[in-house]
Amino acid sequence: MPMKIKAAVFHGPNQPLTIETLELDDPGPGEVLVKIKATGLCHTDLHIIEGHQPQPVPAVLGHESAGVVVAVGPDVSDLREGDHVVPFLLPECGVCPNCQSGKTNICLKIGERTGTDFSRLSRNGQRIHTFVGMGTFADHMVIAADRVAKVSEHASFEGACYASCGGATGIGSVRRHDVDREALVAVFGLGGVGLNVVQGAALAGAQVIIGVDTNDAKEAVARKLGLTHFINPDKVESVAAEIMAITVMGATHSFECIGAPAVMREAIAATNAFYGRCTIIGVAPSGSELTTPVQQLSMGKTVGGLLMGGVKARSGLPSLVSEYAEGRVNFDDLISHRLKLDEINEGFAMMKQGLSTRTVILFD
């Protein structure tokens, strides 16, 4: 029997999300119904709201969440009613060559069950789209079970939720690229993701962690997590020159966590020419290009991207959530605002102005 749910619906670029009652079908084979308890606002959602990424409408956005399983479809044997879970952007089927490999978190089933054909949402008979088969800006969601991790019941829902994108992406990126005690790290953008790069680098014992952000207010929370130097790009002539002055040969590991090609160029320039690695985490507007002097790459520097910190849905996320539950990872100080679903547009307005670190929507 389809159920009525409450969701924030996206109707087109730069329009406010509207709170509506929708119908949600029962979970089909290989799917689960999750009651969402918390969902975070990630800048990837804002990119879509601002029209920087293609998205069919009307749609329910949102991909960072935690909740409780309330029903499972046929063929689901490893999840049951009452499980505390974290849905993830990527599947982990567990049997394909990529799932068997430690080198990548990109399951070969990526892209399956993400299109409108698989949306279980409708309104008056009209199918409603979702963001890549998720749609966490709603009090319930049906999702493929191979994208759902069972996590510790000792973790708060808001912390477990944040782990599923901001936490995994930030901390996972640091761990994937072997940041160690000799590392000289530069983090561009100290938002929900960048602060977790800082945290991950500090946990790894990096000797220098430089944060770059246009908002001075980000410095205090970043220092609490282990930041050693802060640069406001609006107050210096050249960010790359400042980073060179601190690190002598450039950052051994730099991370762009904004999504601005001009900042990516700066991050590459600030990376050690011989053995540095620049990781592009930020999502740039669809179709944009990155230019950088090729000469900079000829001596050994590497530049690359990373999706969801290289973290695997079901074998990687639960341990991160447990680290949080045990107090070894701090998400609580990074959650600056807790709102209700009806206040979601205010949450995105704050993100746009750089006034929040992570905003989490809490459901009853």
The residues of the shown chain that bind Zn ion, judged by CB under 5 A, are 42, 44, 93, 96, 99, 107, 165
By CB under 6 A, which span of 41-49, 95-103, 152-160, 201-209 interacts with ligand NAD?
41-49
Q: How far is the CB of 251 from ligand NAD (least distance, A)?
A: 15
Pairing of strands 31-41, 358-362: antiparallel
Q: What is the DSSP string of 52-116?
A: SS---SSEE---EEEEEEEEE-TT--S--TT-EEEE-SS---SSSHHHH-SS----TTTTTT-SG
Reduced to 3 states, what is the DSSP secondary structure of residue 142? Answer: strand
Give the one residue of 22, 24, 36, 42 binding ligand NAD; rule: CB under 6 A. 42
Give the one residue of 308, 317, 325, 335 binding ligand NAD; rule: CB under 6 A. 308
Binding letters toward ligand NAD, positions 118-157, x by CB under 6 A: ----------------------------------------
Distance in angstroms (rounded) separating the CA atoms of residues 73 and 323: 30
Q: Which is nearer to ligand NAD, 156 or 359 (CB)?
A: 359
CA distances to 45, 182, 186, 237 from 247, in Å: 34, 11, 10, 17
Q: How far is the CB of 208 from ligand NAD (least distance, A)?
A: 18
Distance in angstroms (rounded) separating the CA atoms of residues 126 and 258: 35
Give the one residue of 282, 316, 318, 347 binding ligand NAD; rule: CB under 6 A. 282
Number of residues that bind ligand NAD (CB under 6 A): 32
Tokens, residue 334: 């990074």
Give the one residue of 283, 303, 311, 317 binding ligand NAD; rule: CB under 6 A. 283
Find which of Zn ion, ligand NAD, none residue 250 binds, CB within 5 to 8 Å per kind: none
Q: Is 159 in the site for ligand NAD (CB under 6 A)?
A: no
Q: Which is nearer to ligand NAD, 90 or 142 (CB)?
A: 90
Pairing of strands 31-41, 18-24: unpaired
Length of the chain, please? 364
Q: Which is nearer to ligand NAD, 27 or 40 (CB)?
A: 40
Q: Is 351 in the site for ligand NAD (CB under 6 A)?
A: yes
Q: Which is nearer to ligand NAD, 149 or 283 (CB)?
A: 283
Q: What is the DSSP string of 180-237?
A: -TT-EEEEE--STTHHHHHHHHHHTT-SEEEEE-S-TTHHHHHHHHT--EEE-GGGSS
Find which of ligand NAD, Zn ion, none residue 107 binds, CB within 5 to 8 Å per kind: Zn ion
Q: Is 190 in the site for ligand NAD (CB under 6 A)?
A: yes
List Cβ neighbours of 20 (8 Å cut-off, separation of 6 or more): 6, 7, 8, 9, 123
CB 133 within 8 A of CB 62: no
Q: Which is nearer to ligand NAD, 188 or 324 (CB)?
A: 188
Distance in angstroms (rounded) separating the CA atoms of residues 91 and 106: 8
Footprint of ligand NAD on this chain (CB under 6 A)? 42-44, 47, 165, 169, 188-194, 212-215, 218, 233, 257-260, 263, 281-283, 306-308, 351, 354
